[in-house]
A = this chain, B = another copy of it.
């Protein structure tokens, strides 16, 4: 019999349909790494991107030239513009404002034919230190309200360039999902006096069946009410509401845990398209007790269809206990 499960953060219900259960090999896999004619993210092509904002480079190399490990540039086709003001206005019964914000690309490696998991842990640590530095810098611009760091891998997951990269968009309003997550977490805190996410970590470690990886600072698991097959969340073990308030020293453990978790997903699902998103509070929230930053990884294996769009109710053909077990047992 299928099960309904409720996401304790958003109040979102999920149907876990055991009868529809699939094995990882049942999913089609997208062809990746076709050679493009030209890649603006490759070393040597620095002049083909907007000027760099930040880079991890060798001491004697100059900006916008080779010699970098990680490089941040403005998105050439930004979803939000960095210049101007918001100009909030009504339009009849509707509301509008200008699309002010930041949209940056973090190029994770100078090499084209390498994925995030093929980088050394030290190199991935540099990528996550770059995330941290960029978000801290965006916090200084008072127009920026909320940062979203995300990574799209594969055409199906929305990647338009295959060269390994992440993106940051800082929005001038608090996005709905962030607001709803915070409201959900606050309701739990008001009722129980504890952080919901800290409770989730405790139960996941206690049960173990949905766990994927853990180290001294982080844990990853398939959430109880996973919307998607093999959906996996990564949480810091110690309470912290904001990603950008974490110590830089913690990025080494994050790199280690993310590499191992993503490697398991890649091996289990034969290099699936996926997205990951860092969920953190808006900039004006100082160390709230009730929220806990985390990363959500969603392999893009199933189609989202009319029912999901109409209801926000997802149909997940792989119980997270089966997904967790499979991911733990795969060789990496």
Contacts and interface: CB of A to CB of B under 8 A. Distances in A.
Interface of A: 1-6, 8, 10-13, 15-17, 19-20, 77, 79-81, 84, 91-99, 146, 148, 150-152, 155-159, 167, 169, 171-173, 175-178, 180, 196, 199-200, 203, 206-207, 224-225, 275-279, 296, 298, 303-307, 309-313, 315
Contacts of A159: 305
A190 B92 CA distance: 18
A171 to B, nearest CB: 7
A6 to B, nearest CB: 4
B313 A171 contact: yes
A169 B77 contact: no
Contacts of A11: 176
Given A167-B306, A306-B152, A307-B150, A4 B97 contact: yes
A1 B150 contact: no
12 contacts: A1-B84, A3-B96, A10-B176, A11-B176, A19-B77, A94-B224, A150-B310, A151-B306, A156-B303, A157-B305, A177-B311, A277-B307
Q: Is the interface of A mostly helix, strand, loop or mixed?
A: mixed
Contacts of A304: 158, 304
A209 to B, nearest CB: 12
A275 B4 contact: no
Contact of A6 (B94, B99, B157, B167): B94
